[in-house]
Structure formats: structure tokens, C-alpha cells
Amino acid sequence: MADMPHDVLHSIWHIDKGILYTLRTMIRRPGATIREYLAGKRVDHFRPLALLFFITGLYALLFSALHINMMPPRDPAMPEAVYQMQTSFNTFFMKYLSWFYVATVPAWALTARLFLRRGGYNYAECLIIAAFITAINNFLTLLLLPVTYVYSGTPQIQTFTFYALLLVIGYASWAYGSLLNHTALGWLSRLWRGFLTFMLGYLMLSLVGVVVVFALNWSSIKHSVQQQAQAKQEQQRNAAATPPAAR
């Protein structure tokens, strides 16, 4: 019992040290770090799934607490129904984006198995690869949360989101591609395969997100569209009933 406080502190320190070491090496040399982990050098590393869930949970918690609005103010020319639909999609998608990433890890493992086959990785290894890289993608998104909060609900939010997405795509493409550094492929070919690995999984993620948002908000979306159509018909009737001289 006397050693329990020491053991607890040692465990916490080991966890903190493992997370920081893994984050640092994954950002600086992702391919080499993952290959070392797959080769059995795991003492200093934080486990990929634990890292993924930890960062994802932290991001989801902070995003919800900050009440970030990912939509700019509505353009008067945009129909209210369309704006509400876009708002519902963006709010839901960004709130659960990191968890969508987690759910798509098996799909990213499949695309990694397809495009990184020159590296000789099996599917189980591709799951570890996808978990590591997805964790860092979520970590980069987490680091950008303060700036996202500053631009929340402003006209600049979409531009910032676009550049943030470019950062994530760039890192993921480089990270996946670096897993082929030991092959005879050139750097451009490696980068292209890394890009395809990430983007195919991201397209599947986006498709699932659209389907889920429509399924959860179908009744409200349908109601908004009907209201917009009724308002347009009312305007047309009023215009038709107005005498030419009054126009």
C-alpha cells in the first residue's frame, strides 16, 4: 500500500511520456515510427487505438463545450431551407468528425492495403497504420480548435476550414506515402499512393456523413423545403393578382 502513490505517479508519467513521444515522432517521421512499432519496438510508444480514442474524445469534448458554428452568416440570396440543411450537415459532421474518422479506420486500412501493397503490409498492420495516422489527423484538428473558435460563425470560417483540410490531407498523404520509403518507388509515386489511400477513405467518410445527416434530419429538411415552396407560390400568386398599373 505504501508504494501505491508512487506506482500511480509512475503510471501517469509513463502515459504522458508515451503520448508526447508518440506524437512527436509521428509528426516528424511517421513512416519510420510506424514501421518500428510494427517491428516490435513498442516500449516507448503509446498504443495506437488508445491514442486514437484519447485524442478523439478530447476533441469531441472541447468542440461541444465551445459551441463552434462552422457556417458563415446566411447569404440573403440563399433560400432558408438550403441554409438550414447546410447548417445541419456542417454542425453534425464537424461535431462528430473525429468519431467518423475512428469509424472509418477499417476502411482506411482497406485502402492502405490496396495502395500500399508494395510495402508488404497485411490488413492487421494496415489497421495499426490507419489508427496511428488518424490519431495524428485528429490531433492536428485539435490544435486548430482555438483558431476555429475565433472564426466561429464568421465569413472567414469556410476559408479557414478549407486550409485546415488541406493540412490534414497533406499530412496524411505524406504519412501514408512514407510507409513506402523502403521500396523502389520514387517520392512522387509514394506521395500519390498516400494521397489515394487517404482520399478514398475520406470520400467514403463524407458519403456516410451525408447519408446519416439526411436520415436524422429528413423530417425537418422536408418541412423547410415545403415552407420555402409555399412561400414562393404565395409570392407568385400575389404578383399575378396585382394589377399592371400597380406594378
Q: Model confidence over 96-112: pLDDT tens digits?
A: 766 777 888 998 999 99
Q: How many residues does the chain have?
A: 247
The model's pTM: 0.77
Return the higher-pLDDT residue of 137 and 212: 137
Q: Is residue 212 part of a domain?
A: yes
Q: What's the total number of domains in the chain?
A: 1
Higher per-residue pLDDT: 148 or 97: 148
| Domain assignment present for 26 | no
Phi, then psi, of 122 in degrees rounded to 5: -85, 175
- Residue of higher predicted confidence among 35 and 204: 35
Containing domain of residue 151, as a range? 48-235
With beta carbons less than 8 A apart as the criterion, state whether 175 and 136 touch: yes
Q: Is 16 part of a structural domain of the chain?
A: no
pLDDT for residue 158: 84
Residue 32 located in a structural domain: no
Rounded to whole angstroms, the Cα distance separating 59 from 233 reads 45
For residue 195, is it within any domain? yes
Check if the beta carbon of residue 113 is closer than 8 Å to that of residue 201: no
Using an 8 Å Cβ cutoff, are 74 and 155 in contact? no
- Average pLDDT over every residue of 28-44: 92
Is there a domain that residue 110 lies in?
A: yes
